[in-house]
Amino acid sequence: MREFLRTKGFKMTQQRELIFRSFFELGEHISVDELYEKVRKLDRSVGYSTVWRNLKLICRVGLAQEVNLGDGVTRYDRVTRAPHGHLYCVKCKKLTEINIAAAIDPLQTLSRQNKFVPEGYKIEVQGYCESCQKERDKESRGRKTH
Amino acid sequence: MREFLRTKGFKMTQQRELIFRSFFELGEHISVDELYEKVRKLDRSVGYSTVWRNLKLICRVGLAQEVNLGDGVTRYDRVTRAPHGHLYCVKCKKLTEINIAAAIDPLQTLSRQNKFVPEGYKIEVQGYCESCQKERDKESRGRKTH
DNA sequence: ATGGATGCAAAGCCTTTGCAAGCTT
DNA sequence: AAGCTTGCAAAGGCTTTGCATCCAT
């Protein structure tokens, strides 16, 4: 890792190592806050912006990718060999990962037709998870503008 | 429209009509600011929050959907019969709409397998548009943490 | 009248950045 | 030494909300 970063012009520091380690130990869809919490448990002296900047760095060197579920918080997904998408329950916010290989195929074709070079895919299916399907009707009866 | 809203418990007002009209006249991927600008040209007295709340309302009654491209701004897409996805150039931020019917198919299958009831799809392909492909290499040479 | 709708100003929240000091290389 | 990093505090930038007032029904 240290080598990997060096070749890209970055240095390895104690905090950086802690942050990288923590990030990869956590699951997917990690937010800055979540990672910050985890890191703080191991080293109370690490600053929030350091975590934030390192998360950005992880993305910059291609080890992770930002994910935006529209809840106002940017999350980060480790880039794995298997690209995945999400089933996002709009009621309970639960996320379920799905393999999107089958969906990527037609997208590559479309990209080609538009002379577009794809680098990544964000696929999200919004809807209701099994346990929230019953609540669905109530939901649509909301009122008030705010 | 007035009727439609009434059945859902909302009233029609002068501002609301202006906002709704403007929204549907504009293209896709409209941000609150953009809509606000357009509305202000027609009526300087309309407030920002009114535009914001009405955009939310349009979504709530199912006429539009929030789109999040990860640039920190929430955009709104009119819900049309034909669902579409986007080719998002990470360099120039250009958006190109694509028909995602072919990609939805496998996603529905996956949803079914997870006992998930899909309501909408967000599909975004990140990459480089034709004119930005040459810049691609330079881009990856970025340095500095911030 | 009644309750939703509006405008303004003020919060809220998360994301970024300026700086001076501290560490790798 | 040179330059990337870090922490802290302060900005930013967009999204929400409190409230008193206004307006549609």
Interatomic CA distance for residues A4 and A63, integer angstroms? 11
Q: Residues spanned by CATH 1.10.10.10 within chain A?
A: 1-79
- Contact, B9 CB vs strand D, < 7 Å: no
Interatomic CA distance for residues B126 and B91, integer angstroms? 10
CATH of domain A1-79: 1.10.10.10
Average pLDDT value for chain A: 84
What would the mean pLDDT of B55-64 be, rounded to a whole number? 92
Residue A73 contacts B, CB cutoff 8 Å: no
pLDDT at B81: 53
A71 pLDDT more than 50: yes
Cβ of B106 and A110 within 8 Å?
no
Q: Higher confidence at residue A55 or residue A66?
A: A55
CB-CB contact of A99 with A82 (8 Å):
yes
Find which nucleotide's C1' atom is closest to A12's CA.
C24
pLDDT at A78: 86
pLDDT at A11: 93
A13 pLDDT more than 90: yes
Shortest CA gap B126–chain A (Å): 5
The minimal CB distance from B96 to the residues A70, A103, A114 is found for A114
A146 pLDDT more than 70: no
Closest CA to A124 of B129, B83, B78, B93: B83
A139 pLDDT more than 60: no
**pLDDT cut 70: percent of chain A above it:** 90
- Bridge partners (DSSP) listed for residue B30: B76
Interatomic CA distance for residues A65 and A55, integer angstroms? 9
CB-CB contact of A20 with A1 (8 Å):
yes
pLDDT band at B134 (very low <50, low <70, confident <90, very high): low
pLDDT tens digit sequence for B1-35:
888 998 888 999 999 999 999 999 987 789 999 99
pLDDT tens digit sequence for B96-124:
888 888 888 889 888 988 889 888 888 88
pLDDT tens digit sequence for B60-84:
998 998 888 778 899 998 887 567 8
What would the mean pLDDT of A115-138 be, rounded to a whole number? 78
CB-CB contact of B127 with A116 (8 Å):
yes
**pLDDT cut 90: percent of chain B above it:** 36
Q: Please state the three-class secondary structure of chain B as a single string.
A: CHHHHHHCCCCCCHHHHHHHHHHHHCCCCEEHHHHHHHHHHHCCCCCHHHHHHHHHHHHHCCCEEEEECCCCCEEEEECCCCCEEEEEECCCCCEEEEECHHHHHHHHHHHHHCCCEEEEEEEEEEEECHHHHHHHHHHCCCCCCC
Cβ of B128 and A114 within 8 Å?
no
- Contact, B50 CB vs strand D, < 7 Å: no
Farthest-apart Cα atoms in chain A, separation:
57
A143 pLDDT more than 70: no
CATH of domain A81-146: 3.30.1490.190
Q: Residues spanned by CATH 3.30.1490.190 within chain A?
A: 81-146
